[in-house]
Amino acid sequence: MYHTIDAPRPLRGLTALLLTLLAVAPAPAADEAEAPARAAAAPDTRSRDQLLSQLGADRWLAAGVRGRGVKVAVLDTGFRGWRDHLGKDLPANVTARSFRADGKLEFRDSQHGILCGEVIHTLAPDAELLFANWEPGHEDQFLAAVRWAREQGARVISCSVIMPSWSDGEGGGAMHRALSDLLGPGAGPRDLLCFASAGNTTDRHWAGHFRDNGDGWHRWQGKRTEDGLRPWAGESEVAVELYGRAGASYELWVYDSGTGREVGHAATDPHQSDRLSAAVRFPPASGHSYGVRVHHVGGPAGDFHLTTTFASLDCTTPGANVCFPGDGKEVVALGAVDEEGHRRDYSACGTNLPRPKPDLVATVPFPSSWRPRPFGGTSAAAPQAAALAALCLSRHPDWTPARVRQLMQSAAVDLNTPGPDYETGYGRIHLPAE
C-alpha cells in the first residue's frame, strides 16, 4: 500500500503551539549513517544564502529552475512523523510506500529520512518526493523499493543508509548486479541516477588479510584474537557484519567481555558464490563492552571486511571502508567535508576499489529548520547531490543520468591533488553558472 498525503489545514491555538514545540525538540537517534557523527557535528554557522551560493544553486533558483517535473525517491528507514512536515519542511504532497512485511513506514522511531527529504526540498523546492523503507537484512525489499521508484517515474534516488554485507566490499556481488539492472546503464531517459552516503565507518571498520594465530583464529593486532566492540549509548541493537570476496569460509563470534558469555555467532555460507557474508545482531546491555572473533573454517583464507553499526571497534584500518550501495560503480557515493573542504574524519574512503570512492563530497552538517541540531554525517551529503541532480534534470529534461553525472564531476570543486582521489573523489559538489 502507498499513499499520497496532502498537508493538513493549519491548526490554531494550543494545538498549534504544542505541535510547534514538538517540531523543534531534539530528534531521537537517527539511522546508521548520521549517528556516529552526532557528537562531532559542530554548530553550522552558514546562512541559507551562503549554503546555496557554495553549492551554486542560488543562480539556478533565481533563474526559476527549482526542480519542477522531477521526482526524487528517498530510500530510508526513518520516517516517524513525516506527515507533520508536509507543506513546511517537505512538499505539500509526498507519495510514500513501505516494503516491510508489516507495511509500517514509521516503524522506527527516527526522522532520518525526513531530514534527507528536507535537504532535497530546500535545494530543489519544486521537485516531487517519494518515500520508501524496507527491513534490514531483506535484500528483496530494498530492490522492490528501487523498482517501485522507477515505476513511479523517479529519475533520482537518494539513499543515506548503508548495508555493508550486501556486497563484497569492493563493489561486487549479486546485489550490485541486481541494483545496476534496475537503475539502468545511464544512457536512456528512463534510467535512474542513484546517490548514496559513503558511510561514517572510519572508527568501526577493519579490512585486510586473514592472519592465522596458529589455531584458526584471526589475529587483529599483535597477538590479539579479539577486537574490542563498544556500543554507543542508548542504542537498542548493535550489528557486526563480516563480508568479502567469495572463497573462504569463516565463523563470526561476539562475546560479552565482562562475563565471557556468547551473545551471538554466524557463519558464512559456503554455497554463496557472489560474496561471503555473515552478520550478528544483538541488544547491548547498558555499560557493557564486547569482543569480536573471526575463525577460519575452510577454503583458502583471504581478505575480508568487518563493519559495525551503532558501535565502535578498537582495532580499525584506514580506508577501504565505503559500503554498499556506495561502493558500486553504478552508484554515486558522497563523502563529507567541513567548511574548509577537509574530509571529515569519520567520512569513509576507499583504496580497495577499482575507481576512486567517494565519487564526490558535500559540506556538512546541513542546517535543519525544525530541530536545533543540524543534520550531520555523510547522510546529509547524499541528498544534497540528489537535489542538484534534480535541478539539472529540471533544466534539461532530456539529459541522461550519465550526462548529469559527468556534469557534476566536471563542475565539482577539486579539493586535493588534481583529478579524482580516494579522499574526496572529484571534489565538492557545485553547479556551474546557468
> Mean pLDDT across the stretch 131-140?
94
**What H or E segment, with its residue span, contains residue 121?**
helix 112-123
pLDDT at 48: 74
Which CATH architecture is the domain 205-313 placed in?
A: Sandwich (2.60)
- What pTM value is reported for the model? 0.89
Angle, helix 112-123 to helix 48-55, in steps of 10 degrees: 70
Answer yes or no: is pLDDT of 12 > 90: no
Q: Give the mean pLDDT of 56-83.
A: 97
pLDDT of the residue at 49: 81
- Kindly list the domain boundaries of the chain, sorted by start residue: 2-200+321-411, 205-313
Q: Per-residue pLDDT for 283 more than 50?
A: yes
- pLDDT tens digits along 229-260: 999 998 889 999 999 999 999 999 999 999 99
Tens of pLDDT, residue by residue over 305-315, are 999 999 999 99
Q: How far is the C-alpha of 71 from the C-alpha of 397, rounded, in Å?
A: 12
Tell me if domain 2-200+321-411 and domain 205-313 are identical in fold. no
**C-alpha cell read off for 298:** 575452510
**Whole-number Å distance between alpha carbons of 53 and 401:** 24
Q: How far is CA 377 from CA 138, 151, 199, 304, 310, in A?
A: 24, 30, 8, 25, 14
- Please identify, in words, the CATH class of the domain defined by 2-200+321-411: alpha beta
Say what the pLDDT of residue 356 is: 86
Structure confidence at residue 45 as a pLDDT band (50, 70, 90) = low
